[in-house]
């Protein structure tokens, strides 16, 4: 009869068999009992409708995961079986994990996009407005790519008044996300005293999803969100969308487009400047004309209110009064003279010598000499010459027709 073995020996024998047999496991299942440990290790289980197996992914492999494990998602795991001898437990030691039916990068992209959208990173109300006339443009990209050369040419042609500051940045591969974060923070610091006329452009030329992945990293998006300087995300081509596009204040379809949308065209500014000069000249001339008119009016008012004008006005009034007096006096003299002439003529007519002519008499009505044409029927008249006065009453009056005679 064989001697019994200890529990430890048995567990070690099982451990040796399992670990030697299951060295390259490739299994699919649904995640449950998920725990992210402070150490960086990930503990969870995968299951199907009948069974469950414990899994662990240590920090060394977990740091390369492109997406975040979540309870309920289906994954495909590459690893091997290990046994923890003190307890006799076995588990799947995961070396690589991929989402089932979808790429890891695609899932990671959607996970982070959803997370940041919930946090409000994409809210349009918090987007900063680009300055109309930027003075400083901080470019966060590679100093060896074609993107920076295109941006230089466009800026020189479009708006040479702005200064471009290149912050050479690693935009793909190991350490890219850390370098991008560092230079965003550096640009934010350099622009802290000139935020009103500074912008930052974060980007690179086109490429595959893997090549552009640094701009889908959460730490990069956090830094863009926290920056005070307005940031344009200009990654890849027009059809390439990375998460930094949604977080940034403005998204440009290409790095070259970032320069175009952030700067005015200097030719347009020149035309606008010419228009302003013409308009200013017109307005200046109009103001001058108005001021000249006002000045003439003030001068005229001053002259009218001056002592000289007052003296002239008083002198004119004296002259007018004197002239009026002379005219009035002349009219009085003329009137008196006319009366005297009238009296003189009456005296001449009533002179006794006039009455001595035969057949000539005076007709007097109410003590006034009158003509026979003015006498009416029933008038009491006096007929007299120098020697005889006769009182009569008019019985009738006939008009003598000279033609009939």
Q: Which residue has the higher pLDDT, 20 or 127?
A: 127
Averaged pLDDT for residues 158-174: 92
Confidence category of residue 300, pLDDT binned at 50, 70, 90: confident
Averaged pLDDT for residues 70-74: 85
Looking at residue 405, what is its pLDDT? Answer: 47
Confidence category of residue 123, pLDDT binned at 50, 70, 90: very high
Dist CA 113 CA 108 (whole Å): 8
Q: What angle do CA 26, 29, 33 make, to 5 degrees?
A: 120
Dist CA 388 CA 354 (whole Å): 14
Averaged pLDDT for residues 282-310: 83
**In this structure, which CATH number among 3.40.50.300, 3.30.70.890, 3.40.50.2300, 2.40.50.140 belongs to the domain 7-101?**
2.40.50.140
- pTM of the shown model: 0.56
Looking at residue 119, what is its pLDDT? Answer: 92
Looking at residue 55, what is its pLDDT? Answer: 93
Domain ranges in the chain? Answer: 7-101, 111-126+133-264, 267-296, 355-393
Q: In terms of CATH architecture, what is 111-126+133-264?
A: 3-Layer(aba) Sandwich (3.40)
Residues 6+ apart with CB under 8 A from 97: 57, 65, 69, 75, 76, 77, 78, 104
Element (H, E) at 244: helix 243-247
> Helices 266-305 and 307-349 sit at what angle, rounded to 10 degrees?
50
Average pLDDT along the chain: 87
- Residue 43 pairs in a beta bridge with 35, 56
């Amino acid at each position: 009869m064989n001697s019994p073995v200890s529990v430890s020996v048995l567990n070690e024998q099982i451990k040796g068999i399992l670990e030697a047999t299951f060295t390259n496991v490739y299994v699919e299942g649904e995640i449950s009992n998920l725990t992210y440990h402070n150490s960086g290790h990930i503990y969870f289980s995968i299951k199907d409708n009948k069974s469950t197996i414990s899994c662990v992914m240590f920090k060394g492999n977990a740091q390369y995961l492109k997406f975040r494990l979540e309870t309920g998602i289906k994954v495909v795991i590459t690893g091997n079986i290990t046994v923890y001898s003190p307890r006799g437990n076995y588990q799947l030691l995961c070396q690589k994990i991929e989402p089932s039916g979808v790429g890891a990068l695609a899932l990671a992209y959607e996970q982070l996009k959803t997370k940041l959208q919930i946090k409000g990173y994409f809210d349009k109300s918090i987007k900063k407005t680009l300055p109309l006339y930027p003075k400083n443009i901080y470019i966060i990209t590679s100093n060896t790519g074609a993107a920076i050369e295109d941006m230089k040419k466009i800026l020189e042609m479009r708006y040479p008044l702005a200064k471009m500051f290149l912050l050479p940045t690693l935009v793909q591969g190991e350490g890219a996300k850390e370098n991008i974060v560092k230079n965003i923070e550096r640009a934010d610091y350099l622009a802290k005293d000139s935020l009103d006329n500074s912008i930052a452009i974060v980007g690179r030329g086109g490429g595959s999803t893997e090549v552009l992945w640094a701009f889908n990293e959460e730490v990069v998006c956090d830094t863009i969100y926290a920056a005070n300087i307005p940031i344009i995300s200009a990654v890849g081509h027009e059809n390439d969308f990375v998460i930094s596009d949604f977080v940034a204040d403005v998204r440009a379809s290409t790095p070259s487009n970032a320069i175009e949308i952030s700067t005015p065209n200097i030719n347009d500014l020149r035309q606008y400047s010419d228009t302003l000069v013409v308009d200013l000249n017109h307005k200046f001339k109009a103001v001058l004309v108005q001021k000249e008119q006002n000045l003439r009016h003030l001068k005229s008012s001053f002259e009218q209110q001056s002592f000289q004008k007052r003296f002239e006005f008083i002198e004119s009034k004296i002259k007018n009064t004197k002239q009026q007096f002379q005219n009035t006096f002349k009219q009085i003299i003329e009137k008196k003279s006319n009366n005297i002439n009238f009296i003189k003529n009456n005296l001449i007519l009533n002179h006794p010598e006039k009455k001595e002519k035969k057949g000539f008499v005076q007709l007097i009505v109410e003590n006034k000499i009158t003509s026979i044409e003015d006498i009416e029927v029933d008038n009491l008249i006096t007929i007299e010459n120098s020697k005889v006065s006769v009182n009569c009453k008019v019985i009738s009056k006939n008009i003598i027709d000279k033609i009939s005679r």
